[in-house]
Chain A
Amino acid sequence: MLAAILVNGLVLSGIYGMLALGFALTYGVARILNLAHTAFYMAAAYALFFFLGLLGFAPAALLSALLVLGLALLAYWLLLEPLKEYEATVLIVTIVLALLLQEGILLLFGGHFRSVPALLPGFLEVLGVRVAQQALLALFFAGLVLLLAWALLKGTRLGLGIRAAAQDQEAAELLGISLSRAGYWAVGLGALLAALAGLAVAPMATLEPHMWNAPLLVVLAAVVLGGLGSLPGALLGAVILAFAEVLVVNLLPGGAFLRTAVALLILVLVLVLRPEGLFGAAFAEER
């Protein structure tokens, strides 16, 4: 049972991790609580489904990621940047954006359940547990994407600019860093991470117009659990929630439907004991 928990938990962590990092990035830098984050993830999955009908996997995936990136930047330019000062309005606008995407997809693709064929069919036995090769591929992909994102933020001038803008907006501006440009980069990177998560999950998930709801809840919980805006916090939050879910299914089979509820309970408990989240103390420094 331990092996099953370990293997399944790790695979789920990779996917939640990608989603949570993108969300935390958008908030940490551009100060936007983007409730349309997982709707971008859904849009990428559907775009992949659509383009696969016309193209091979690689060009279809590339086109899907670019499409979602363009969509996110357009939404930022048109709707979010002008309203950035009004946090509540931004929240409402992003949820409206998510619902618009949901309705648009319902209109274009109908309410049918769709699926994207796996790149790697079949399964492997890892520690005696059957794991779909596609899931292992998604885990590897998630690891790679997270490493690249980390390298970009920590090791490049662009990343430095983004982090500086996040840390102290006035000082960054005095040093010649364009806050507006940093915002675009953060939103773009966040959306790109959501899109990549969508591409990784599409061959394992069922595509339907409400598929953004459940992961949004988990992502919100993960970033709050980790400390809102903290990038390592978001990742740790994602891992904790993923393992909590897998533990519930394995230890309490009759209550498997409670997996998300138990994960949220952990969130509430952490917040009661440590309201700033797990990485809350490092919050200012991290941003």
Chain B
Amino acid sequence: MAHHRWLALLALALALAGPAAAQTLRIGILGPMAFVQGEHTWHGATLAAEELNRAGGIAVGNQRYRIELVRVDTNEMTSVTDAATAVERAITAQRVDFLVGGFRSEAVLAMTEVAADYRKVYLITGAALDGILAGRVDRNYDRFKYLFRVSPTKSSDLARTSLLLLGEVIQAVRRDLRVERPKVAILAERAAWADPLVETASRLIAAPAPQGYASEVVGTWRPSATATDVTPELTAIQRAGAQVIFTVLSGPVGVPFGRDWGRLKIPAAPVGINVEAQQETWLKATDNLGAYVATLNTLAPSVAITPKTIPFIANFQARFRQFPIYTASGAYAALYILADALQRAGTTAADAVVRALEATDYVGPSGRLVFDRTHDVTWGPGYTTGLGVQWIEGRMQAFWPRQWRVGNQVVSYAGVRPYQLPPWVVEAWRR
């Protein structure tokens, strides 16, 4: 009799434990973890994993999975080889089921080769180079179909957006300074991704309206991406009489640029891409001299791109005491997209998950995410656009898209304010 009672209890315990003992999905989060880009990839993924687990995990078929994140430091800032090795180790030794992250395009190219070798689904959240997907997924689908890019939008789309931002500033110069034909200096770091942008910008700036900006290019300066001093460049730009500086900077040179520009009060308004100015540490890094700098960005405080933007920013800030950069919102969205695809696929088998991912239509914190035929995130009105932000009164404020007209569509996000020319630029040029 006593035996029976024990057996019954055991059976009851097993019955209770059965559904609760969910399986785990191991997701490798890739990034340079000593740097803000990797750190935020990890934070964004952590936030999503916690939310998904709290909601009971992911239902795949009739099985429930809890998410377990595996932190994979790729050391990709210094070594592409290290990055590829880290991915290989994550797959073979740490037994991850899926991959999310990556930041430097050169490193991600190597990392995606490894992922493709092992047929692991890899959602990229940091690198922008078009060629990571274009020319690979479309031309060699069977090998590269496992790769998707959640963020950022690809280089050529970043170029389109940054040129739209330049248009806003040229308009402000015309309107506020009454300069008929504004002069623009191009300051672009020496890097492959910047070359087409310089070429397109030069053409568009000089071309007559409505296709072009009917302005003048006074020169193109190409410092190294790691230059620590751009004073000679800025002195020359000032001498050239520019009212606007179109920046194409992703490397550390963005910081000395902002600091020297602010310190010397160069009378030309900077706009374009400056990755360093996208981070909340910008003013501190530039000794508060980077005020009025404008750059393309993904998120800005109090700007609701979608209904999920503000809650995401608030939760992220409450949890990590920092403002999220794009790798954070990218990794956060990537986990939800993956969870959604797994649920729809009803299996964790890679090929079925790929097909489900291809059918993704997900509204994340930074826009609506739909993959195109190269598995790249779709750019444009109604999808993901990016933001134009400017540093005003000690904080990052968005100035674009604001009454952005595309055909019959007008795109505006709540919380976007007009662009402001730096006061010393106004003082120097107002007629």
List chain A positions with a Cβ less than 8 A from chain B.
Answer: 1, 4, 8, 11-12, 106-107, 110-118, 121-123, 129-132, 134-135, 203-206, 208, 210-211, 214, 245-246, 249-250, 253-257, 259-260
B106 within 8 A of A: no
The yes or no answer to B321 lying at the interface (CB within 8 A) is no
Nearest Cβ in chain B — how far from A133, in angstroms? Answer: 9
In the A-B complex, the 8 residue pairs with the closest CB atoms: A257-B190, A111-B35, A249-B232, A257-B224, A206-B255, A130-B264, A253-B221, A4-B235
* Chain B: number of interface residues, binned into ranges: 35 or more
In the assembled complex, the CB of B193 is this many whole angstroms from the nearest CB of chain A, namely 14
Residue B77 contacts which of A111, A114, A134 (CB distance < 8 angstroms)? A111
CB of B260 within 8 A of chain A?
yes
* Complex partner residue of A130 from B36, B265, B287, CB under 8 angstroms: B265
9 contacts between A and B (CB under 8 A): A8-B232, A111-B34, A118-B287, A122-B263, A130-B235, A206-B259, A256-B223, A256-B232, A259-B224
Q: Determine if A249 and B256 form an interchain contact, defined as CB atoms under 8 angstroms apart.
A: no
**Total cross-chain contacts (CB, 8 A):** 112
Of B49-57, B278-286, B297-305, B371-379, the stretch lying at the interface with chain A is: B278-286
CB distance from B261 to the nearest CB of A (A): 11
Residue of B189, B220, B228, B231 contacting most chain A CB atoms (<10 Å): B231
Q: Which residues of A contact B189 (CB under 8 A)?
A: 257
Could you tell me the distance between the alpha carbons of A118 and B228 in the complex, rounded to whole angstroms? 16
Given A112-B281, A211-B228, A253-B220, A130-B286 contact (CB < 8 Å): no
Min CB gap B25→A, angstroms: 30
Complex CA gap A4/B232 in Å reads: 7
Q: Are A110 and B35 in contact (CB under 8 A)?
A: yes
Q: Which residues of B contact A (CB under 8 A)?
A: 32, 34-36, 77, 189-190, 219-224, 226-229, 231-233, 235-236, 238-239, 252, 255-256, 259-260, 263-266, 276, 281, 284-287
> Is B286 within 8 A of A115, CB to CB?
yes
**Chain B residues whose CB sits within 8 angstroms of the CB of A205 once the complex forms:** 228-229, 256
B224, B231, B276, B284: the one within 8 Å of A132 (CB): B231
- Residue contact A256 to B222, C-beta cutoff 8 Å: yes
A12-B264 in contact given A112-B281, A206-B285, A208-B252 (Cβ < 8 Å): no
- With A4-B232, A214-B228 known as contacts, the answer to whether A253 contacts B260 (CB < 8 A) is no
In this complex, what residue of B is CB-closest to A128? B239
A28 to B: closest C-beta gap in Å: 27
Question: Which residue of B is nearest A116, CB measured?
Answer: B287
* 4 other A-B residue contacts (CB within 8 Å) besides A111-B32, A256-B227: A249-B233, A253-B220, A256-B222, A256-B232
Q: A4-B232, A8-B232, A205-B229 are in contact. Are A134 and B263 (CB under 8 A)?
A: yes
* Contact A257:B285 (CB < 8 A) given known A111-B77, A205-B229: no
| Whole-angstrom CA separation of A129 from B276 in the bound complex | 27
A115 touches B221 (CB 8 A): no
A123 contact set on B, CB distance < 8 A? 263-265
B222: chain A residues within 8 A (beta carbon): 253-257
Most buried by B among A111, A118, A206, A259: A206
Cross-chain contact B286 with A250 (CB below 8 angstroms): no
Chain B neighbourhood of A135, CB < 8 A: 231
Q: How far is the CA of A1 from the CA of B237 in the complex (A)?
A: 11
Cα A131 to Cα B287 in complex, Å, equals: 17
In the complex, chain B residues whose CB is within 8 Å of the CB of A8: 231-232, 235
Distance of B256 from chain A, by nearest CB (Å):
5
Q: Which of A4, A112, A254, A256 counts the most chain B CB atoms within 10 A?
A: A256
Contacts of B255 in A (CB 8 A): 113, 115, 206
Cβ–Cβ contact A106 & B34, under 8 A = yes
Partner of A113, one of B227, B238, B285: B285
Smallest CB separation, B192 vs chain A (Å): 13
Check A256/B221 contact, CB under 8 A, given A8-B235, A111-B35. Answer: yes
Give CA–CA (A66, B77) in the complex, Å: 32
Q: Given A113-B276, A253-B220, check contact A246 B265 (CB 8 Å).
A: no
How far is it, in angstroms, between the C-alpha of A112 and the C-alpha of B255 when the chains are bound? 11
CB neighbours of A246 from chain B (8 A): 232
Q: Which residue of B lies closest to A255 (CB)?
A: B222
A131 to B221, CA, bound (A): 19
Distance in Å: Cβ of A46 to nearest Cβ of chain B: 14
Assuming the contacts A113-B255, A249-B232, A253-B233, asked whether A118 and B34 have C-beta atoms less than 8 A apart, the reply is no
**Known pairs A111-B32, A111-B36, A205-B229; A250 contacts B236 (CB<8 A):** yes
Separation of A129 and B234 alpha carbons in the complex (Å): 10
Contact of B239 among A4, A12, A259 (CB under 8 A): A4
- Whose C-beta in chain A lies nearest to the C-beta of B282? A113
B264 touches A253 (CB 8 A): no
Residues of the B chain whose Cβ atoms lie less than 8 Å from the Cβ of A131 = 264
Closest to A4 in B: B235
Asked whether B226 lies within 8 Å of A210 as measured between CB atoms, the reply is yes
| Cβ of A132 to closest chain B Cβ, rounded Å | 5
B344 CB, nearest partner CB in chain A, Å:
38
Taking the nearest CB of chain A, how far is it from the CB of B203, in angstroms?
A: 15
